[in-house]
Amino acid sequence: MSMASTVNRRQVSLQGVQAPLQSINSILLVTCLLLAIGLLMMTSASVEIASSQYGDPFFHLKRQAVFAFMGVCAMLVTLHVPTRFWRESSWYLLMASFALLLLVLVPGIGKNVNGSTRWIDLGLFNLQPSELAKVFIVVYLSAFLERHLVEVQEQWSGFIKPLCVIGFAVVLLHFEPDHGAMVILMLTAFTLIFLAGAKLYRFVLMLGVCVGAVVFLAVMKPYVIVRFSSFLNPWADENVYGGGYQLTQALIAFGRGEWFGVGLGNSIQKLYFLPEAHNDFVLAIIGEEFGLFGVAVVVLLFSILVWKAFAVGKLAHSRNSLFSAFFAYGLGLLFAGQALINIGVNIGLLPTKGLTLPFLSYGGASLIVSCFMVALLLRIQYELETGSVQDEREGW
């Protein structure tokens, strides 16, 4: 009898230990880890340049901390907004995304940096309309696919209509230009339409059109060819101090880091050798200071975030909540696309593009929108777990 009571007491105590462990949300945990790593590594990468330019080595840390606070506030507000609101507002959000992409092209409103007009100066930070536009267009696509699922699967019209919407956004992004956002948006849209059940041969035909468009773009924009050639051979004499300079300096950073890095704060490449070390190339500084191990941890965290987004989408799909499913898939694809392109650029697998690494790169718009996207994902997960999501096709 005493043994049975001891076993029961142990079971109760184990259940008490497991309960709080199970209550930890893995999406929120990964987000917090990425935010912490981002603040740490962005500060390490920017200390010297902030000290010389602003007289304060923690200038970028202070600003990024404010952006992180704003992102958390945006997350808390978004968590209280039902998924149904985004579904019913999809058309207005699409119009808002087009309005933002047009507004940034208006002289005097759009801010030009390094030949690209991608930002609107809001005083505290620069708003990058393409960041919000990508999310809003994913909302619209999710609602469209949910409403016209059979048409998308069976008819050319269901395949072409969403691509026309994407095409208009791509044209606006081209005039900025923001080719990184173009690629992410197109890949996300194609993947969502494919997940909706569109015929494969239609994608093959559309792929041919896209390849032709890329070739035309390269011919019309000579700097695209120059950038591509410098990517293929960055160590050439004509590229190593020109178009391939950032890539070669990033590769040197990864080479110095080897397996476990040179230690936090000991990077040499951040000392004016690697431009945008605290922004687009923060991963190279992680590779230098923490080696392959540090880069693997970052890649693992992003992989978990994307995997959880697809797991939420799969759960929604199984419960016939099609809008929530496509929305979760789309959010996961946006995170995956941006992370993959930034990592690919840093390690030399892709041509250099001005694309931030979510949560890690310096910048207010990127950080706030990333927190907003996580909150949307958490809200979908919450509604699925509480059973508050019903068959979304009812009432349409």
pTM: 0.87
- For residues 176 and 223, the answer to whether their CB atoms sit within 8 Å is no
pLDDT on residue 171? 87
Comparing CA positions, the residue from 339, 228, 348, 357 lying closest to residue 280 is 357
Q: Within a domain: residue 223?
A: yes
pLDDT cut 70: percent of the chain above it:
84
Q: What is the pLDDT averaged over residues 169-187?
A: 86
Q: What is the C-alpha to C-alpha distance for residues 218 and 205, in angstroms, rounded to an integer?
A: 21
| Residue 114, in any domain of the structure | yes
Question: Which of 315, 311, 339, 326 minimizes the C-alpha distance to 139?
Answer: 326
DSSP for 239-290 reads HHTTTTHHHHHHHHHHHHHTTT-S-TT--STTTTTSTTTTTTTHHHHHHHHH
- Quote the pLDDT of residue 226: 66
More confident residue, 155 or 295: 295
- Residue 212's pLDDT band (cuts 50, 70, 90): confident
Sheet bearing 116-121, strands edge to edge: 110-113, 116-121, 126-127
Evaluate whether residue 130 is within a structural domain: yes
Say if 15 falls within a structural domain.
no
Question: Cis (ω within 30 of 0) for the bond into 177?
Answer: yes
Counted domains in the chain = 1
What distance in Å separates the CA atoms of residue 15 and residue 350, rounded to the nearest whole number? 49
Query: How many CA atoms does the CB half-sphere of 166 hold within 13 Å?
Result: 26
pLDDT at position 239 is: 67
The pLDDT score that the predictor gives to residue 240 is: 66
- Is the backbone of residue 98 left (phi > 0), alpha (psi -120 to 50) or beta? alpha
What is the span of the domain harbouring residue 317?
26-386
Q: Which of 36-40, 141-145, 387-391 has the lowest mean pLDDT?
A: 387-391
- Is 8 a domain residue? no
pLDDT at 281 over 60: yes
Q: pLDDT tens across 12-61, in order?
A: 343 443 434 346 789 999 999 999 999 999 999 888 888 888 888 888 89
- Amino acid identity at 149: L
Taking the CA atoms of 128, 370, 134 and 357 in sequence, report the sign of the dihedral they define.
Answer: positive
- In this structure, are strands 116-121 and 126-127 parallel, antiparallel, or unpaired? antiparallel
Tell me: pLDDT of 164 over 70.
yes
Q: 20 lies in a domain?
A: no
**Strand intervals (E) in 83-217:** 110-113, 116-121, 126-127
Q: How far is CA 294 from CA 262, 266, 285, in A?
A: 11, 14, 10
> Residue 5 has what pLDDT?
46
Say if residue 313's pLDDT is above 90: yes
Q: What is the 3-state secondary structure (H, E, C) of 58-107?
A: CHHHHHHHHHHHHHHHHHHHHHCCCHHHHHHCHHHHHHHHHHHHHHCCCC
Residue 309 in domain: yes
The per-residue pLDDT for 396 is 45
In this structure, of 24-28, 72-76, 114-118, the range with the lowest mean pLDDT score is 114-118
